Amino acid sequence: MLFISESESVALVTHELAFVAAREALIAACEPATESFPVVLGHGSSTANRFTVKAAATAELAGLKVGSYWPGNRDRGLERHNSLILLFDQETGRIGTAIEAGIVNAYRTAAADAVAADVLARPDAAALAIFGAGHQARYECAALARVRPLRRVLVVARSAERAAVLAAELQAQGLDAEAAGAEEACAAADIIVTATPARAPLFEADWVRPGTHVASMGSDARGKQELPPALFRRAALFCDLPGQSRSIGEFQHADRDAVLTPLGEVLSGRLPGRGSDEAITIFDSSGLSLQDLTIARHLLAQRAASA
């Protein structure tokens, strides 16, 4: 079995690699030969410590990702999120490759939102409202800055101190960033991204301007919610996988007759994306195992090329 440690996977991953892998995975998710299996949601001995198991198979890849969230790790000076990707040797059924992918997972998640923004956000979108100031928010801002000319970033967080820290970090990276309130941020934003563990809407539907692109990446379990359902009725709805989005994603809160478009169908040109400059688009990124398997394959290729 090939084992790639966290330090090695961090040295291999880039936003460009993650973007290419995410785009490839989202298209492949819509292919008939691809199977995404039901997500397993579990917890540790303490119910505060949670994990998910996501698995998928294609004609070329089969495997799974175990993702964990241990909130008490912050007090230990450790990351709260960790991931392990396992690829099967399909001839023997043994694990052929294991990749520690805590940071890779952050790149992979942000890349999916960047791929969605690249095809759904207005070409001139320049103002980003990011809800959440945690680990993932930093990667979201960096990934989106690659696909749109961000000139302003408004950081919304429950903690004013953490919002200010993130804004300062983004300023050091050359982005015009500031802490802001939710209504102010929505009113100014061309793109809104929510990266939180929320279980209730983070803002009001009528705060969102026509022409805005919205992405939710925090809803990945039953009961989680970041967006106001009233906004769905004003918007075109896109997701990584409709069945999963309705089960554990943001669109578990959508009307039963709401039309959900898989982003892969838009990327492949089979279905339309943004209808007009005034349209509101929403992308629900509930997270696919196929994204993990695909980025693992790209990491392996990068490792071989660097050898």
Q: Say if domain 2-104+290-306 classifies as CATH 3.40.50.720.
A: no
Q: Please state which CATH class domain 110-287 belongs to.
A: alpha beta
pTM comes to 0.95
pLDDT value of residue 81: 87
DSSP state string for the chain:
-EEE-HHHHHHH--HHHHHHHHHHHHHHTTSTT-EEPPPEEEE-SSTTSEEEEEEEE-SS-EEEEEEEE-GGGGGGTS-SEEEEEEEE-TTT-SEEEEEE-HHHHHHHHHHHHHHHHHHHS-TT--EEEEE--SHHHHHHHHHHHTTS---EEEEE-S-HHHHHHHHHHHHHTT--EEE--HHHHHHH-SEEEE-S--BS-SS-GGGSPTT-EEEE-S--STT-B-S-HHHHTTEEEEES-HHHHHHTSGGGGS-TT--EEEHHHHHTTSS-----TT-EEEEE----HHHHHHHHHHHHHHHHHH-
Q: Where are the domains of the chain?
A: 2-104+290-306, 110-287
* Percent of the chain with pLDDT strictly greater than 70: 100
pLDDT value of residue 167: 97
pLDDT value of residue 207: 98
User: Each residue of 131-159: pLDDT tens digit?
Assistant: 999 989 999 999 999 999 999 999 999 99
User: Each residue of 1-11: pLDDT tens digit?
Assistant: 999 999 999 99
Which stretches of the chain drop beneath a pLDDT of 70? none
Q: Please state, in angstroms and as integers, the Cα–Cα distance from residue 132 to each residue in 13, 122, 124, 182, following that order.
A: 23, 23, 24, 11
pLDDT value of residue 78: 87
Residues forming the active site: 65
CB–CB of 302/12 below 8 Å? yes
110-287 has the same fold as 2-104+290-306: no
User: For the CA atoms of the chain, what is the radius of gyration?
Assistant: 18
pLDDT value of residue 212: 98
